[in-house]
Amino acid sequence: MHEGKIHPITAATRDIADIFGRMGFSIEYGPELEDDWHNFTALNIPVDHPARDMQDTFWTKEDTPRVPRTHTTAVSIRCLEKMAKEGLTSYRAISPAKVFRNERTDLTHEAQFYQLDGFAVGPDVTLAHLKGTFETFFREFLGPEAKVRFRPSFFGFTEPSVEVDLWFQPEGKEGRWLEYCGAGMLHPNVIRNAGLDPEKVQGFAWGGGLERLIMIKSGVPDVRMFHNGDIRFVHGFSE
Amino acid sequence: MKVSRTWLQKYFDTELPSAEELAHALTFHAFEIEEIEGNMLDVKVLPDRACYALSHRGIAKEIAAILNIPMKADPLREAVPSVSTTENLVVTADPEYVRRHTGALVRGVKVGPSPEWLRSALEAVGQRSINNVVDISNYVMLDIGQPSGAFDLAKLKPENGVYKIDIRRAAQGEKFLALTGETYELSDTMFVFSDAVGGLVMDVAGVKGGKESGVTEATTDLFLSVGNYDGTLIRRTAQKLHLFTDASSRFQNRPSPELTAYGMRDILALLAEVTGGTVEGVVDFYPSPVSMPAVSSTPEFVNKKLGTSFNALDILGALTRLGLSHTKEGESVVVMPPFERGDVVIPEDLVEEVGRIIGYEEVTPVPLPGIPAPAQLKYRGIERVRDLLVARGFTEISTPSFAVNGDILLSNPLQEDKPYLRPNLRVNMEVALARAVNVAPRVLGPVSEVKLFEVGTIFTKEGEKMALAVGRKAISRKKSPVIVDNVDEFMGLFASNVAGTDEVQEVLFADADLESFGAGYEPKNPGLGKFEAFSVYPFALRDVAVWTPEGTTEDTVAGMIREASGSLLVRLDCFDSFAKEGRVSYAFRLVLEANDHTLTDTELTDVMGKVTKALQETSGYEVR
């Protein structure tokens, strides 16, 4: 019988789960419809932060409005809460899952897409570990030439915050630096909000688009192809 | 924030490197650069540093620190000369909104075109020159980050020679005629400057000036306003009025109220120089002066966060270059942030300052210490379900979460006709099946049905659930309806409620079941190869059947068809073959398509003619 095919998001996730699994990361899940606390407040995003604006975030029409999560960092904070509750001293996890942004769609922007979020927290997890983790991940996912570099940035939930660029060389083409994701050391307020003690644990977190990784690796020209239910897209990938 | 290299140069004796080199330095140590155009850099200042860096002085300070070149002079470190006050100006303000307000009366200005240096400075960063008074206000804002406003004193009414300005809450529905000529209706969450005697609304405080009190060529005397307002309230006002101005974007990022005095100093100096105006007096409203708490850290703390081994000299050097004065107390470094650096509050902020100035390229990658791989049970359970379906010929799809109908309504949907979060996967599955049937010959070849599945979240009154939808649809109408049969085994495993039709079934997952189902399962990892885009133009199907001599392979015939048909052939499937009386018959289906147009009948006939000819001319072949 004719074999079916998994969606490229699934295929990429399996690769990613493998690579991060070997580095000790579990895969965690959380609600797509989040409360204000896990999507914003616990992540040190103040009440009047632009990210809360109607143009960026969808809100439900309910007595207590909820938000289709704008990042899977919401899953990370839930894990940190679990960590506090269960008295764990270290925890590493990734969360590759759907997120929502209320923005105009084009070749590189979708209102719903997948994010690959992750974190590593422990007594001695540093920014150098973040670099090491990314180097391993990108080398294994994209190829041995892949490299990463950091640039300063700002996110409410991390301090220091960095933008991560990755060096990618498509077969037979010239290599170049591509912006990939935001990352940093978890802000002590976030660690405290989860019920942990920032004097005892620290760690890094990051969040970037999963489609973007696939677009880079496989040469997909338009992010809007991913979630329109078209089998031509799924079968357009060679294995 | 657009900055010009020429403007930045006034802060340095040594010649600055090129705009490109400045951009590179800023990119890796401070800010992303959105655009370089000649000598102009568009710097993306993020909210944390916007309190000091939405200014040429702020960017110059960064460049001084990054490139380690001294600034000639720093306007924020130079004393503010004291100016006498005046009894002819009274400013009252609501301290909920106004953190500080420095006002002044200036007499005898000559309004006119700006001198060349001022004009070109503004034009170099994309601003339009209006007149010398307005230009000075803009210049000082772009130079040190302090917005201000100038009003025509003749439009205000004094009481016994005293001008009374009240910065008060707007009345609900109060009208305001802006400089641009547009009228805005205000609400009582907003604040205005009003002439307490004459009643004129002069300004939506900190956001936009009014037309009626604006400076014109006839203006000779000014009320100058250099304020500092609550960032949150400013932001809400700008949002409500859809009026984001250079001033509001600065105030919403909470510059220090200390800055108003520096702004007033610079404006008064320029007014005297350029317009001949002289100050009558300055009136300062500053109910709670701010002070900057010290922040202390240790080299050990910095290295513990960054994973580096910077020595104390490196670390103190970075702080010194940034102008963050500090003292050493034992192992601790105690930093006294200058007033404009509202972003330096906790020890981690110092870690960032040190890390970025020394440079993140100095952070050497270190692998995390090894720990056993986690079980990832739920993940394995979900993937096992997927693999079972794929093995049975199902293709996985992903569809949007927004829906026409549902239980959970969005207050701001992307598309008005899809305001709900999907309550099921079935509806999207039906649409996808219909579409898949249309494209199946192109994608799957000559199959009798399409088989799809989706794993995704659905949203109902009872909460959100992970669901699986499985769909099958016959391609030929002659066939009897398809019954979902061979997926029963895991429908049984996971169903907590099953709904569906002959074509689509949908089940909900239970987490616990998934975890036990996933234990020990190793998901197949086919890898992710290159993506080949499909044409947006329709494909066409043509069949050809041919008798061939005994022993002829399918590949041989296929090769001949491929060669004859050329680049329009995008898929070739052999859908029938049988042997009879020493000959073998093959039937092929050709899928033809162009990337840039819909194929015409002529093109199709031409291709098929070539194929037929090639086969027919081969000895022992006979096209049927």
DSSP result, B241-260 = HT---HHHHHHTT---TTHH
Q: B55 or B205: which carries more pLDDT confidence?
A: B55
Tell me what the pLDDT averaged over chain B comes to. Answer: 92
What's the pLDDT score for residue B41?
97
> Which residues 440-479 of chain B have a CB within 8 Å of chain A?
440, 442-444, 447, 450-454, 456-457, 459, 464
Cβ–Cβ gap A218/B459 under 8 Å: no
Determine whether B126 is exposed, middle or buried from the number of CB atoms within 10 Å of its CB (0-12, 13-18, 19+).
Answer: exposed
Contact (CB, 8 A) for B230 and B262:
no
Q: Which residues of B touch A159 (CB under 8 A)?
A: 346, 348-349, 351-352
B567 Cβ contact partners less than 8 Å away, ≥ 6 residues apart: none
Q: Is pLDDT above 80 for B292?
A: yes
Structure tokens, B354: 């040190």
Contact (CB, 8 A) for B283 and B85:
yes
Cα distance between residue B542 and residue B571, in whole Å: 11
Q: Which of A80-84, B58-62, B370-374, B477-481 has the lowest mean pLDDT?
A: B477-481
Sign of CA dihedral B404, B407, B408, B409: positive
Confidence class for position B492, pLDDT limits 50, 70, 90: low
What's the pLDDT score for residue B488?
54
A160 cis-preceded (ω within 30 degrees of 0): yes
Q: Which residues of B touch A54 (CB under 8 A)?
A: 412
Q: Is A61 on the interface with B (CB under 8 A)?
A: yes
Cβ–Cβ gap A22/B373 under 8 Å: yes
Q: Is pLDDT above 90 for B593?
A: yes
B105 Cβ contact partners less than 8 Å away, ≥ 6 residues apart: B86, B88, B89, B153, B163, B221, B222, B223, B224, B279, B280, B281
- Compute and round to an integer the Cα radius of gyration of chain B: 37
Residue B63, Cα to own-chain centre: how many angstroms? 26
> Which residues 7-36 of chain A have a CB within 8 Å of chain B?
7-12, 14-15, 17-18, 21-27, 29, 31-33
Contact (CB, 8 A) for B75 and B266:
yes
Mapping DSSP onto H, E and C, the string for B571-618 reads EEEEEEEEEECCEEEEEEEEEECCCCCCCCHHHHHHHHHHHHHHHHCC
What's the pLDDT score for residue B483?
44
Cβ–Cβ gap A59/B49 under 8 Å: no
CA-nearest residue to A164 within chain B is B360
Q: Please, which residues bridge with residue A120 across strands? A: A92, A204
Q: Which of A163, A229, A231 sits opposite B428 (nearest CB)?
A: A229
What's the pLDDT score for residue A108?
85
Q: Is pLDDT above 70 for B216?
A: yes
Q: Which helix (H) or strand (E) holds B285?
A: strand B278-285
Q: Which residues of A touch B392 (CB under 8 A)?
A: 1, 4
Cβ–Cβ gap B527/A18 under 8 Å: no
Q: Which residues of B touch A127 (CB under 8 A)?
A: 305-307, 355, 360, 363
Q: Which residues of B touch A90 (CB under 8 A)?
A: 371
What's the pLDDT score for residue B505?
84
Q: Which of A27, A48, A185 sits opposite B305 (nearest CB)?
A: A185
What's the pLDDT score for residue B533?
85
Q: Maximum distance among all alpha carbons in chain B?
A: 122
Confidence class for position A53, pLDDT limits 50, 70, 90: low
Confidence class for position A55, pLDDT limits 50, 70, 90: low
Contact (CB, 8 A) for A70 and A209:
no
Cβ–Cβ gap B398/A48 under 8 Å: no
> Which residues 521-550 of chain B have a CB within 8 Å of chain A?
523-534
Contact (CB, 8 A) for B258 and B291:
no
Structure tokens, B61: 């300070």
Task: List C-alpha distances in Å: B223 to B127, B154, B389.
Answer: 23, 9, 76
Q: Which DSSP category does B161 fall into?
A: T
Q: Is A41 on the interface with B (CB under 8 A)?
A: no
Confidence class for position A239, pLDDT limits 50, 70, 90: confident
Q: Which helix (H) or strand (E) holds B443?
A: helix B426-443
Cβ–Cβ gap B439/A230 under 8 Å: yes
Helix, strand, coil tally for chain B in percent (to 5)? 35, 25, 40
**Minimum distance, in Å, between the CA of residue B64 and any CA atom of chain A:** 17
What's the pLDDT score for residue A23?
96
Q: Which of A170-174, B91-95, B128-132 has the lowest mean pLDDT?
A: A170-174
Contact (CB, 8 A) for B364 and A128:
yes
Amino acid at B258: E
Q: Which residues of A touch B393 (CB under 8 A)?
A: 1-4
> Which residues 47-86 of chain B have a CB within 8 Å of chain A?
47-49
Cα distance between residue B402 and residue B414, in whole Å: 9
Contact (CB, 8 A) for B391 and A192:
no
What's the pLDDT score for residue A141?
94
Cβ–Cβ gap A60/B349 under 8 Å: no
Determine whether B511 is exposed, middle or buried from the number of CB atoms within 10 Å of its CB (0-12, 13-18, 19+).
Answer: exposed
Cα distance between residue A49 and residue A37, in whole Å: 14
| pLDDT (tens digit per residue) in A129-157 | 999 999 999 999 999 989 999 999 999 99
> Which residues 407-446 of chain B have a CB within 8 Å of chain A?
408-414, 421, 428-429, 431-432, 435-436, 439-440, 442-444
What's the pLDDT score for residue B481?
45
Cα distance between residue B152 and residue B211, in whole Å: 10
> Which residues 166-225 of chain A have a CB within 8 Å of chain B?
185, 187-188, 202, 214, 217-221
Structure tokens, B273: 């120089």
**Minimum distance, in Å, between the CA of residue B468 and any CA atom of chain A:** 14
CA-nearest residue to B449 within chain A is A2
Task: List C-alpha distances in Å: B50 to B148, B294, B341, B360, B602.
Answer: 17, 20, 10, 22, 64
Q: Is B374 on the interface with A (CB under 8 A)?
A: yes
Cβ–Cβ gap B391/A4 under 8 Å: yes
B20 Cβ contact partners less than 8 Å away, ≥ 6 residues apart: B36
Structure tokens, B446: 């000559």
Cα distance between residue B158 and residue B167, in whole Å: 16
**Minimum distance, in Å, between the CA of residue A8 and any CA atom of chain B:** 7
Q: Which of A47, A132, A220 sits opposite B531 (nearest CB)?
A: A220
Q: B517 or B347: which carries more pLDDT confidence?
A: B347
Cα distance between residue A186 and residue A159, in whole Å: 6
Sign of CA dihedral B357, B358, B362, B366: negative
Predicted TM-score (pTM) of this structure:
0.91
Please give the average per-residue pLDDT across B593-606, as a whole number. 93
> Which residues 571-590 of chain B have a CB within 8 Å of chain A?
none
Q: A172 or B546: which carries more pLDDT confidence?
A: B546
The C-alpha torsion from B16 through B18 and B19 to B22, rounded to 10°, is -60
Cα distance between residue A235 and residue B444, in whole Å: 8
Contact (CB, 8 A) for B315 and B308:
no
Mutate which: B461, B531, B591, B593, vs A, most A CBs within 10 A: B531
Structure tokens, B39: 């000598």
Mapping DSSP onto H, E and C, the string for A114-183 reads EEEEEEEEECCCCHHHHHHHHHHHHHHHHCCCCEEEEEEEEECCEEEEEEEEEEECCCCCCCEEEEEEEE
CA-nearest residue to B425 within chain A is A229
Q: A173 or A124: which carries more pLDDT confidence?
A: A124
Please give the average per-residue pLDDT across A109-126, as a whole number. 95
| pLDDT (tens digit per residue) in B347-386 | 999 999 999 999 999 999 999 999 988 888 999 999 999 9
What's the pLDDT score for residue B375?
86
| pLDDT (tens digit per residue) in B320-344 | 999 999 999 999 999 999 999 999 9
What's the pLDDT score for residue B490?
55
**Minimum distance, in Å, between the CA of residue A98 and any CA atom of chain B:** 9
**Minimum distance, in Å, between the CA of residue B537 and any CA atom of chain A:** 13
> Which residues 102-161 of chain B have a CB within 8 Å of chain A?
none
